[in-house]
């Protein structure tokens, strides 16, 4: 049955206007006045905004780290995402060292297909520049895995400069964006060892082990390598002003560099690590939370349009049993926290609600920006005829207090426990089918599909 959303205020990255949105066979077929006809299902969005479904281009569902696995799987994580207004995620296919990339992709698809309640894509995390890997990339890009992820830290993931150069060359030829986790490994190892040798093993030392200098050097170095080889970059999870300055320098040289930040860097500071006992472990994520000065700098950059996306880096670990691993040594605390469900409500509340962002900027940062960077546009990330009917009816008046017990993320705490928000998804549709009605999840495992993303070959 055709679906029409009436009486709402439609928001795109450029404009907001009163209009009906007509959906036919999973796509938006028209936007305009008086589109309701007999026989259509009518959704009354009076008093609400009508937004494109959120796109979270950086999440880690059921991600193995050592013998642990992040707590949300593709079923629970995508249901939580839907409840928060996100209809598409981009997760990762990450090979073990020596494993063929195609094999890693096949295994990841097997974990997601039939489980995901929302649409999903996969970035190719590249952990070597072997001939096999280089040979596999063009075919995988054509099959819709049209973005790479590279790391400059973490055993099992980090790449040395020669490998990064070769992989960036391929990215430039294939016309795909490379998501960069760029911390300087030597700085992180050096700082961590010095802290531990001095007996500083508590969570409060986590930010000192991963200083802004490490993050800025890693980002600057990969941007220099991209200057030589070409390739569009997206600097992941920018946490501080020092990295922003490097991004600005690269852009001033004419380089194509996207920037991503996350709600936790916008809303929280390193003060969280001073919580009593071991509670600071809840906020051990990487890069770490920074200073109030950095937090303010991120908001200003966000308002000035310097960021293309706000993603979550969702990677939840239970405080009991999992975070607990690092009670005697902060370096053993699994890195990451939950955020897939709270991204839109927090950014709306703290951004639009406080007058720091317009609704159009909100749509740009949560949907259109990541869609453009990662080959989903204009199929997703925008309300326009021909696009997938991924639609959020957003109630700007709904107030609630975030509590782990009420959320759908499968983890035993919420980093924003007790945080008040105003503005929440009322109804969410994926390709015209309901995922959330009146705030209740009505989707199902397997209702989401793998999305083949496009590339722009040179």
Which residues in this chain contact Zn ion in the complex, by CB under 5 A?
313
C-alpha 366, offset from chain centre: 9
Residue placing its CB nearer to Zn ion in the complex, 262 or 430: 262
Residue placing its CB nearer to Zn ion in the complex, 314 or 372: 314
Residue placing its CB nearer to Zn ion in the complex, 313 or 350: 313
Q: How far is the CB of 338 from Zn ion (least distance, A)?
A: 13
Taking a C-beta distance cutoff of 8 angstroms, is the pair 48, 396 a contact? Answer: yes
Q: How far is the CB of 108 from Zn ion (least distance, A)?
A: 15
Taking a C-beta distance cutoff of 8 angstroms, is the pair 197, 271 a contact? Answer: no
Q: How far is the CB of 159 from Zn ion (least distance, A)?
A: 15
Q: How far is the CB of 243 from Zn ion (least distance, A)?
A: 15
* CA angle, residues 139, 141, 143, in degrees to nearest 5: 70
Q: How far is the CB of 179 from Zn ion (least distance, A)?
A: 8
| Enclosing H/E stretch for 214 | helix 212-229
Q: How far is the CB of 32 from Zn ion (least distance, A)?
A: 40
C-alpha 407, offset from chain centre: 18
Q: How far is the CB of 342 from Zn ion (least distance, A)?
A: 17
Shortest Cβ contact with Zn ion: which residue?
313
Residue placing its CB nearer to Zn ion in the complex, 335 or 364: 335
Q: How far is the CB of 160 from Zn ion (least distance, A)?
A: 20
Phi-psi region of 75 (alpha: psi -120 to 50; beta: other; left: phi over 0): alpha
Copy the structure tokens of residue 338: 């939950």
Residue placing its CB nearer to Zn ion in the complex, 310 or 428: 310
Taking a C-beta distance cutoff of 8 angstroms, is the pair 257, 250 a contact? Answer: yes
Ranges of beta strands (E only) in 126-266 are 147-151, 177-181, 232-235, 257-261
Q: Give how far Cα 142 sits from Cα of 46, 91, 375, Å.
A: 42, 18, 12
Residue placing its CB nearer to Zn ion in the complex, 181 or 295: 181
Q: Give how far Cα 304 sits from Cα of 203, 298, 345, 352, 361, Å.
A: 34, 10, 21, 14, 10
Residue placing its CB nearer to Zn ion in the complex, 119 or 313: 313
Of 73, 53, 57, the residue nearest 122 (C-alpha): 57
Q: Give how far Cα 202 sits from Cα of 75, 115, 265, 287, 391, Å.
A: 34, 38, 21, 17, 44
Q: How far is the CB of 38 from Zn ion (least distance, A)?
A: 49
Residue placing its CB nearer to Zn ion in the complex, 61 or 267: 61
CA distance 433 to 442: 10
Residue placing its CB nearer to Zn ion in the complex, 237 or 410: 237
């Amino acid at each position: 049955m055709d679906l029409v959303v009436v009486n709402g205020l439609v928001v795109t990255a450029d404009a907001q206007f009163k209009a009906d949105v007509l959906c036919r066979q999973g796509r938006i077929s028209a936007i305009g006045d008086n589109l309701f006809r007999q026989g259509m299902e009518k959704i009354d969005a009076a008093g609400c905004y009508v937004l494109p479904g959120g796109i979270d281009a950086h999440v880690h569902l059921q991600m193995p780290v050592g013998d642990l696995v992040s707590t949300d799987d593709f079923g629970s994580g995508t249901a939580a995402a839907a409840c928060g207004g996100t209809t598409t995620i981009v997760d990762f296919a990450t090979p073990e060292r020596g494993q063929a990339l195609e094999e890693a992709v096949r295994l990841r698809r097997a974990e997601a297909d039939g489980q995901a309640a929302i649409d999903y894509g996969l970035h190719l995390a590249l952990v070597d520049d072997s001939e096999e890997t280089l040979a596999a990339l063009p075919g995988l890009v054509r099959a819709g895995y049209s973005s790479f992820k590279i790391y400059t830290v973490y055993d099992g993931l980090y790449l040395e400069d020669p490998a990064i150069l070769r992989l960036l060359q391929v990215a430039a030829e294939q016309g795909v964006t490379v998501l960069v986790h760029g911390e300087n490994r030597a700085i992180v190892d050096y700082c961590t060892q010095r802290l531990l040798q001095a007996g500083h093993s508590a969570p409060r030392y986590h930010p000192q082990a991963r200083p802004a200098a490490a993050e800025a050097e890693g980002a600057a170095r990969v941007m220099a390598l991209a200057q030589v080889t070409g390739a569009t970059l997206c600097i992941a999870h920018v946490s501080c002003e020092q990295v922003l300055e490097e991004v600005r320098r690269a852009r001033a040289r004419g380089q194509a560099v996207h920037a991503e930040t996350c709600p936790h860097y916008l809303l929280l500071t390193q003060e969280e690590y001073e919580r009593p006992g071991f509670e600071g472990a809840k906020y051990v994520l990487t890069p770490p939370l920074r200073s109030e000065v950095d937090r303010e700098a991120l908001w200003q950059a966000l308002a000035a349009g310097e960021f293309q996306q706000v993603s979550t880096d969702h990677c939840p670990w239970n405080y009991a049993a999992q975070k607990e691993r690092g009670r005697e040594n902060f370096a053993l605390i699994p890195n990451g926290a939950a955020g897939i469900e709270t991204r839109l409500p927090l950014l709306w509340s703290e951004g639009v609600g406080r007058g720091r962002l317009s609704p159009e900027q909100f749509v740009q940062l949560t949907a259109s920006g990541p869609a453009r960077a990662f080959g989903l546009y204009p199929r997703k990330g925008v309300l326009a005829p021909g696009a997938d009917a991924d639609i959020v009816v957003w109630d700007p008046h709904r107030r609630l207090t975030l509590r782990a017990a009420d959320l759908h993320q499968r983890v035993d705490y919420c980093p924003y426990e007790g945080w008040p928000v105003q503005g929440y998804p009322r109804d969410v549709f994926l390709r015209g089918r309901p995922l959330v009605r009146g705030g209740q999840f009505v989707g199902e495992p397997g209702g989401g599909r793998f999305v083949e993303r496009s590339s722009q070959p040179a």
